[in-house]
Structure formats: C-alpha cells, structure tokens
Amino acid sequence: MTTITTREPVDDQAVGAKKSGGFTASAANYIDERTSISGAVKELGRKIFPDHWSFLLGEVALYSFVIILLSGSFLTFFYQASMAEVIYEGSYAPLKGIPMSVAMSSTMDISFDIRGGLLMRQVHHWAALLFVAAIGLHMLRIYFTGAFRKPRELNWVIGFILFILAMAEGFTGYSLPDDLLSGNGLRIIDGLIKGIPVVGTWISFLLFGGEFPGTDIVGRLYSLHILLLPAIIVALIAMHLLFVVVHKHTQYPAAGHTNQNVVGYPVLPVYAAKAGGFFFIVFGVVMLIASLFTINPIWNYGPYDPSPVSAGTQPDWYIGFADGAMRLIPSGWEFVWLDHTYSLNILVVLVVVGLFIVTVMIYPFIEAWITGDKREHHVLDRPRNAPTRTAIGAAGVTFYASLWSAASSDIMATHFHLTMEGVIHTLQVTTLLGPFLAFFIAKRVCLALQKKDREIVLHGYESGRIVRLPGGEFVEVHQPVDEYERWKLVSYNDFKPLMLRPNAQGKIGPAEKVRAGLSRWFFEDRITPVSQTEVNQAHGDHPAEITNK
C-alpha cells in the first residue's frame, strides 16, 4: 500500500492513485473507497507468523477442509439422497439388475459413469480421513507444547468441538452411499441408541423415521452432512482463526523469543507464499493418493441388506476407538431390574468414551486450577519441561491407541494366527494398565531429558577429544554450548508443589486438599532450570573449556 502514497502525497486520493500507478492502483483505490480495506491490509499485511513444522498440522486440517468443500460440492451435483428403491442399470456389470436405493445407485453412477467422478469421490474420502487425522495431530501438538494455556483455553475448546464435528461429518458422509458397510455402521448406531435407558427406543424411532432402517435416514443425514454441520464448522473455524489473530501465534523457546514478542515472517509476502503454496501441496498429495489408491469400493460391498455382512469389516479410522471400546466389554454386562433392561455393554462404552472426551476438552481448566497460574503464556513448553503433562498425554494416547487397535482385533487375530480371545484379553489389559505404564515411562524419559539438558548447559557437549593435562591427567574436552542454544535449554517454567495454607477462618477446605494433592503429583519431581550462579560455578570447574580452541 505504501507504494501508492509515498511518491507524492496529493490531497485528492483518486488523483494521487491515478498518477502513481496504473490499473492495479486505481482498482485498489476503487475498492478501498468502498470498503476501507486498506485498514485491514495495514493491520494484517505484515502480521508476523512464526515458523515451525509442527505449526503446519493445523494448516493441513484447514486445507483438507477446503478440499472437502470443493470436492463435496462437485459430488452434490450428482448424488441423490433418496432411499427409494430402483433397479441398478449403470455400467458396473456385476451389480446390474440388483435392487438398491437411489442413493447407492447415484453413488455408483458417480463412480462408473461420470468421468472424474470416482476421482472426486476418492479425493473427498481421502481428504476427510486426512482432515480428522490432521486435527488429531494438531491437538496433540497443542497439548504437548502447552499451547492451550491462558489465553488460549477457549480456543482449545473450539478446536475440540471442531474435532467432534469432523468425526460427525465423517460418519454422516460414510453413511450416505447406503452400501452394505455404511448400512451396518448405521445398524450399530441404532443398537447403541436403543441401549440408552428411558429414551433410547424412541430416539432410534425418531431418527430412522420408524423402524430401522426405514427410508428417511439417508436424506436426514444428508441435510446434516452438507448443510448443518458444515455451516457450524465454517463458523467455528472462523472463530478459531480469529482467536489466532487476536492472541497472535505462540512460538517455541529460542534466543530472542520472549513472552512479549512474536518472531517470524510477515504475511505478505513470505507467509502468503509458503502457506498458499502449502495448500496446493496438500491438495496435490491428496489428489495423488486419490488417483493411485482406491478407497471405499462400495461396488464390492453391494447395497445395504440387513442380512449379509462380510468378515473383517472396519469403520473409517476415526470411529475405530469407539468401535474398539465396544469390542473390549466382557460378556454378560447387561441386567434387568424393575422390568427394564440396563445394557451396561453399551452404557459403559458411552460413559467411558464420553468421560475421556470431556476430560480432554476441559484439561486446560484442570491444569490451570492445579497450577493457579494466571499469566498469559505465549512461549511454548518443550514437552520434556512439563513432565507430568507430557506423561498424562502419553497415558491418554496409549488408552486411545488400545481402544483403536481393538477395532481391528479380528484382523490382528487372523493375520498373526492368534486367538480372538487372546487378542481381546491382551487389549483389555493394555487399555487398563497401558496408560499407567506409559505415564511412568514418559515421565521418567522427560526427567532424564531435562537432566541431560542441565548437563549440556553446565558442562557442554562431549566432544570425544581426549587431552592430556600437564599433570598427566587425561580429560575429555567438553564443547561448551553457545549462549543462543543455551537459552533454549534453560528458559522454561518452574513450579513448586502447592503449600497448603489455612484460609481466613483458619481452615483448609477439601477442594484445596485435592488441589494440593494434584499439585504434588504434578510438580514433586521437578528439575529446576539452570541458574546463572550454577553456570558460573560450572565454568570454574572446567579449565579445559577455556583452553579449547
């Protein structure tokens, strides 16, 4: 913008623009006089974004969503969300003459009669798988670096809701072709809903417009899939990004990085080129996968029929953890009491998965309560520098991974020649005990890495060079770490366990006791950052460093 006005300031802007530039300048002027967009350019055009590969995960999620919107819009022009029965007369010979729903038949036409239709279907499906995966990895990055701390707790919640909505989009979309697998997925949902006490039977009845499967569900899921859910997702993404602008992006600890600045490249031109280019790379990779690898070959499954199903059926990956949780319930978890059926084999899954999800959502508030930390945090934690948080994350990942792999229990059993029972029992054990083991290992690894960092700061790297001192003593020369690298290793938050103090009435409330217990659990094994005094002392101990070079 400055190029337009700097040459010669003229009172009349229109005249100035005409003089200083050609079409671009007058077009910019035209738009600005009607939108005052120059303000937005001034505000955002040179906004700084820090660089790190892990910051790209959120971008991948955003870009896959754009890809989903583009390919999905194409699909809506051909897909028909009707469960009316037709006889298939399309190009795919093996299914010719077979009765199926219009939904299935139009999906078959997209795949076999419209040029590029299969490609767009596969782009849509692969991008959807990537979308949920990228959100998941993005959330892990946020979690393990503590980017959810004040002031970003609410944005964590928004992102979390987006994760749930992405899975809902995935499931509704998976159901639309009305093929055998998607129908079975709906059958499982129907069974789950019926297991809910009091209202389950009626919710299922209303959802399916009568008895399962009915002729309404595909149309209803279609409304959700292409209208309601995307609208909410777009609105939440807008909020999510608005918050990123308001908070400014976090950055990793490094020399020159402080809690009061943000260091990186400006939107125009570097960030626009890199982020814009990255969109095309993500799109290109999805396109390449879609042109080379088949996904969801509904023509192999055939139309939905409540009777047949093949072995080795798998949901899309992101539903796996819930499906796996259902498989891990031991036999017999159901009882009748006062003339009503309590299906614990379903309720326990809903409650445990629900609690897990809610815990993830409110984690930022739990940690903030334990630490009592009211400061804004814009410099990220290296995962090792928050050992208990990292260990909790490792436990959560292990729990999720156990449930998730249980969704493939039959495939593991057949591939590795194991018994079905053995696989399930093993996964039941890893689901219950694995998180504790993962917590312990992760925490010890973090503490060990912190100790290693201390060692490097105080004594430098081992150079492998052995030197003989005049007195005859052999020492290994330690290569001191430079002050920029050192700053990365020493600049982290340090917390002490909470000391309980009585309040004004001289009492200690139960909530405070819980908090103190959690605080001890979080911070009792802590490695403090290296202080200046320690550095000075350490240098005195190592004359070799000084003589080196």
In the window 375-434, what residues touch another protein (CB under 8 A)?
A: 375-379, 409-410, 420-421, 424
Binders in 303-322 for another protein, by CB under 8 A: 304-313
Stretch that binds another protein, among 228-236, 435-443, 472-480, 522-530 (CB under 8 A): 522-530
Residue 71 has which token pair?
């390919």
Of residues 267 through 296, those in contact with another protein by CB under 8 A are 269-271, 273-274, 276-285, 287-288, 290-292
Residues 6+ apart with CB under 8 A from 427: 324, 328, 402, 405, 406, 409
Among 4, 68, 322, 329, binds another protein (CB under 8 A): 329
| Least separation in angstroms between CB 247 and another protein | 6
Which one of residues 197, 354, 502, 543 is an interface residue with another protein (CB under 8 A)? 197
Q: Alpha-carbon torsion 302, 306, 310, 311, what sign?
A: positive
Taking contact as CB under 8 A, which single stretch among the options 127-135, 166-174, 472-480, 492-500 is the one that binds another protein?
492-500
User: Does 196 help bind another protein (rule: CB under 8 A)?
Assistant: yes
Nearer to another protein, 471 or 533 (CB): 533
* Kind plus residue range of the DSSP H or E element containing 479: strand 474-479
Q: Are 398 and 434 in contact (CB under 8 A)?
A: yes
Q: What are 461's strand-pairing partners?
A: 479
Q: Which helix (H) or strand (E) holds 25?
A: helix 23-35
* 540 part of the interface to another protein, by CB under 8 A: no
| Least distance from another protein to the Cβ atom of residue 97, Å | 13
Part in contact with another protein (CB under 8 A); list of ranges 105-113, 128-136, 435-443, 448-456: 105-113
Strand pairing report for 461-468 and 474-479 = antiparallel
- Site stretch for another protein (CB under 8 A), options 72-80, 374-382, 437-445, 447-455: 374-382
Helix H or strand E encompassing 101: strand 99-101
Strand pairing category for 340-342 and 474-479: unpaired
Among 350, 487, 539, 544, binds another protein (CB under 8 A): 487
The least CB distance from residue 397 to another protein, in Å, is: 23
By beta-carbon proximity to another protein, the closer residue of 100 and 392 is 100
Q: Which is nearer to another protein, 69 or 114 (CB)?
A: 114
Asked if residues 64 and 282 have their Cβ atoms less than 8 Å apart, the reply is yes
Question: Judged by CB, which is closer to another protein: 308, or 467?
Answer: 308
**Cβ contacts of residue 38 below 8 Å, gap of 6+?**
1, 32
- Cβ proximity to another protein, 111 vs 296, nearer residue: 111
- In whole angstroms, the minimum distance from the beta carbon of 278 to another protein comes to 6
| 335-354 binders of another protein (CB under 8 A) | 336, 339-341, 343, 345-346
Neighbours of 87 (CB within 10 A): 10
SS3 for 85? strand
Cα–Cα distance measured from residue 249 to residue 233, given in angstroms and rounded to the nearest whole number:
21
CA distance 147 to 202: 42
Cβ atoms of 165 and 232 within 8 Å: the answer is yes
Least distance from C-beta 180 to another protein, angstroms?
A: 10
- Fill in the DSSP letter of residue 497: P
Q: Of residues 17-46, which lie at the interface with another protein (CB under 8 A)?
A: 46
Q: Residues near 283 by Cβ (< 8 Å), separated by ≥ 6? A: 63, 66, 67
C-beta of 35 vs 291, nearer to another protein = 291
Residue 34 CA to residue 512 CA, distance in Å, equals: 58
The two tokens of residue 89 are 């007369």
The footprint of another protein on this chain (CB under 8 A) covers a number of residues equal to 145
Tokens of 142: 């946020």
User: Per-residue x/- marks for another protein, 465-484, CB under 8 A?
Assistant: ------------------xx
Contacts of 292 (CB under 8 A, 6+ apart): none
Alpha helices in 342-419 (DSSP H): 344-371, 387-406, 409-415
Q: List the interface residues with another protein, window 496-515 (CB under 8 A).
A: 496-498, 501
Closest to another protein by CB, 29 or 64: 64
Q: Which residues, numbered 230-269, are part of the site for another protein (CB under 8 A)?
A: 246-248, 253, 255-266, 269
- Length of the chain, in residues: 549
What does the block give as tokens for 240? 């999510």
Tell whether residue 518 is a contact of another protein (CB under 8 A): no
Query: Any idea which residue has 């008895």 for tokens?
Result: 211
Lay out the site mask for another protein across 449-468 (x = CB under 8 A, - = otherwise). --------------------
- Minimal distance, residue 317 CB to another protein, in Å: 16
- Binders of another protein among residues 41 to 100 (CB under 8 A) are 46-48, 91-93
Nearer Cβ to another protein, position 465 or 496?
496
301: contact with another protein by CB under 8 A: no
